[in-house]
A = this chain, B = another copy of it.
Amino acid sequence: MAHTQIWQTQDGKLNPLVEAYTVGDDYILDAALAKYDVKASLAHAKMLHSMKILSDDDMASIKEGLSQLARQIDNKEFIIEPSQEDCHTAIEEFLTEKYGDVGKKIHTGRSRNDQSMVMMRLYMKDIFENTQQVLNRLVKTYEETSKKYSNIAMPGYTHMQKAMPTSVGVWLGAYKEGFSDVSELVSHTKKYIDQNPLGSASGFGISNFAMDRDITTKDLDFAKTQDNPMYCGYSRGLFENVVLQALSPAMIISAKFANDMLLFTTSDFDFLALPPEFTTGSSIMPQKRNYDVFEIMRGNTKVYHSLQQQIQDIILGIGGGYQRDLQLTKKPFINAIEICKSTLDLLTLMVPKIIVNKNKLDAAMTDDLFVTNKVYDLVNSGMTFRDAYSKVKKQYFS
């Protein structure tokens, strides 16, 4: 069957170049998001049912249709055509083909704007829940590995030069605390986005159609209804940005860890290693064992933030009212979330496998690391700090 856009103009087809340019990858991206659309569509149908827009029979058909769709999505059998543009149209067409007039009623009281937004909002809530679990696992991993190596001394560096003594345990413990704080930040930020935009339609509600938006709020387990319909529209892209910002510290801390690992696994430092299953080789140099995984991690933290900034740039350029470039925020959002998830999963896998080269670390605990302790021996014996510092410095450089 030849699908068409539901808004198809009377006077002819959309130019194919314009269609390709404006539809973009949405019909592919939506395959992953469609389950949230189905969930929200069911809640919307329940509200229409309570208003008698949908009869009991209609409601039964829609329940059946949507649960069938949910299964298709789970089995990756649900395919959206480019000409359908997005899952919103595909769902309506599925219901109409199968149940006739019932399908033609499902879009009552909503627009693709709020339909898309509520879908994304449910996805965001899932992201926050999942990421918190991932983060908590990762925190536990760092904590355990940190304890395991708490007694192994390690040089502390500032400016990439030996500074003062520390331990592998303290070093890993810093990452534990960092990721633990992100988990808190995520749980706070969740409150910001936990608002139901469904029923705001195109950003103006519908003045001659009475809906009780709180019905879908409750059914979809939102903390509250996002009242002002224009504000619902304003939050598109903005909320995506806030979600990525909340996860940003996790990526920044991952970058720091990757940088540390890349330095400490050089043959010149040789403090740490990973088993061969985590390293790669070279097409011409037989001897190589490379820690590419941390290089990609380092790069991915930049890709993540660039995707976040893509969203920011887009939303900074426009006034109120839905504009189509907002659609372009979907792809970088999904990609960024995937990068974040795979990075945290990989860390959880690798951190416990770190091999600590105690001999090399011991050899690296050279005298210069303890110079500041000499200053404090003098402080402890009554000398002022600055005099002690100057005295030790004079000795050191003479």
Contacts and interface: CB of A to CB of B under 8 A. Distances in A.
Given A209-B379, A252-B238, A286 B319 contact: no
B310 A201 contact: no
Contact of A158 (B96, B263, B322): B322
A82 B174 CA distance: 34
Interface stretch (A69-77, A117-125, A128-136, A275-283): A275-283
Contacts of A277: 12-15, 18
Interface string A97-116: 00001011111111111000
Contacts of A276: 9, 11-12
A328 B295 CA distance: 10
A359 interface: no
Contact of A206 (B15, B189, B376): B376
Contact of A372 (B12, B161, B285, B322): B285
Interface string A151-175: 0000011111111111000110111
Copies of this chain in its oligomeric complex? 4
Interface residues of A, number: 176
Tell which of A202, A285, A312, A398 has the most Cβ of chain B within 10 Å: A285
A32 interface: no
Contacts of A185: 189, 192, 242
B313 A306 contact: yes
A94 interface: no
Given A280-B14, A281-B5, A396-B286, A156 B386 contact: no
A396 B175 CA distance: 36
Nearest to A282: B7
A231 interface: yes
A190 to B, nearest CB: 9
A299 interface: yes
A202 B158 contact: yes
B160 A291 contact: yes
Given A159-B292, A325-B295, A386-B96, A393 B10 contact: yes
B317 A88 contact: no
A357 interface: no
Max chain B C-beta neighbours (<10 A), residue from A280, A286, A299, A373: A286
A272 interface: no
Given A208-B380, A309-B309, A386-B107, A24 B191 contact: no
Contacts of A398: 10
Nearest to A394: B10
Interface stretch (A34-42, A59-67, A341-349): A341-349
16 contacts: A17-B342, A111-B283, A158-B322, A158-B323, A159-B290, A159-B324, A161-B265, A174-B230, A174-B320, A177-B228, A202-B284, A245-B248, A252-B316, A284-B375, A305-B313, A317-B317
Given A101-B384, A242-B245, 5 more contacts: A18-B346, A158-B322, A164-B204, A185-B189, A303-B310
